[in-house]
Structure 1
Amino acid sequence: MRFGSHRFDTADTPDADGLLFQYGTHAFEGPPVFTLDLVRQFEINDASGEHDHYIQLHCELRYEPVPRLRALGHFETWFFHDTDDELDAWADGLGRQEFWPIVRNSHPREIRVHQEQV
C-alpha cells in the first residue's frame, strides 16, 4: 500500500498510473508456475504528449503449482489513480478475497522483480 499510494509525475490521463494485482498458473518460461503478481504501471507519452507505451514494474511471487493453488484459477483487478476510485477501498476489497488463506499457507519458491514495456 505504501508503494501504491506514492504518486509519481505521470501524464494527466486516467490510466497513467495504475496498480494491478493478478494471479494464476502460467507456463510462460517453461513448466507451469502459480504466480502472484503485483504490478505498478505507468503511461509513457511521446514528445507531443500522445500515448507511446506503458512501463510495468512487476513483483512476482512464484509458487509450485500444487492442486490447491491451481484450483484458485485466475484473477485480476486494477486500480488507477486520478479516477473516482479510492485506493483504500480497492485494497480493502482485495484483502477480503477468499484466496488469501490458501496463498498465505504456501511459500514462494522464487521472487522475481522485473520491468517491461507494453
Structure 2
Amino acid sequence: MSRRPPIEQAQERLRHELSPGQQPLAELDLDEVWLRFVRFGSQRFDTANAPDADGLLCQYGTHTFEGPPAFTLDFARQFEVNDASGEHDHYIQLHCELRYEPAPQLRALGHFESWFFHDTDDELDRWVDGLGLHEFWTIVRNFHPTEIRVYQEQV
C-alpha cells in the first residue's frame, strides 16, 4: 500500500500551498504563484504505475473560453486515473490559472506548452530551470493578473 496521499486530496493541497494563511490568492504575483505551484508539483500522490500518470504542464495563450479574450497562463497537474482492472479510464487536471488583459505584448507571445512527468528520466528541477530561461517570464511579470483561478476537471 502506498504511503502517498490519494489524488483526491490534490486540489485541497494545492489550495493550501497557494494560500496557507498568508496572502490572499488574488494578491500573489507570478513568481510567488509559480514557486508555490512547483512546491506542490514536487509532492507525490498515489498514482498509477505509468510514466505519464503524474504530469505538470506550463502553458499560455490568448483564449476566449469564457467571455472576452484573455491571456491565460496555466500551471496544471495531470493525474491518470485507471479503472478497476488497471486500464486507463480518464485524466484529472488540476489547474492554477492566471488570467490577464490581452495586452499586445502578451498576445505577441502566441501559444506555448511544456510538460514534465514524474517517473521518467527527466528531473523536476531541470524542467523548472529550463522554463525559467524562456522570455515570456520577463514579459508577463510586467502585468498583474486580473484573476487567479484554481479548479479541477476530468478529461
Deviations 1:22-63 (A, max 9, x none): 000000112110000000110000000000000000000000
- CA-based RMSD of the aligned residues comes to 0.6
Unaligned runs of 5+ in 1: none
Shift of the alpha carbon at 1:2?
A: 1.1
Higher strand residue share: 1
- Identify the residue that residue 107 of structure 1 maps to in structure 2: 144
1:60 paired with 2:97, answer: yes
- Of 73, 77, 80, 1:40 maps to 77
CA distance in 1, matches of 2:148, 2:40: 17
Aligned sequence identity (%): 82
Shift of the alpha carbon at 1:76?
A: 0.3
CA distance in 1, matches of 2:67, 2:147: 14
CA distance in 1, matches of 2:75, 2:105: 20
CA distance in 2, matches of 1:39, 1:11: 18
Unaligned runs of 5+ in 2: 1-37
Dislocated runs of 4+, deviation >3 Å: none
Shift of the alpha carbon at 1:4?
A: 1.0
- Of 119, 123, 134, 1:86 maps to 123
- Identify the residue that residue 96 of structure 1 maps to in structure 2: 133
Higher helix residue share: 2
- Identify the residue that residue 116 of structure 1 maps to in structure 2: 153
CA distance in 2, matches of 1:37, 1:99: 13
- With normalisation by structure 1, the TM-score equals 0.98
- With normalisation by structure 2, the TM-score equals 0.75
Where 1:20 maps in the other structure, the secondary structure is strand
What is the aligned residue count? 118
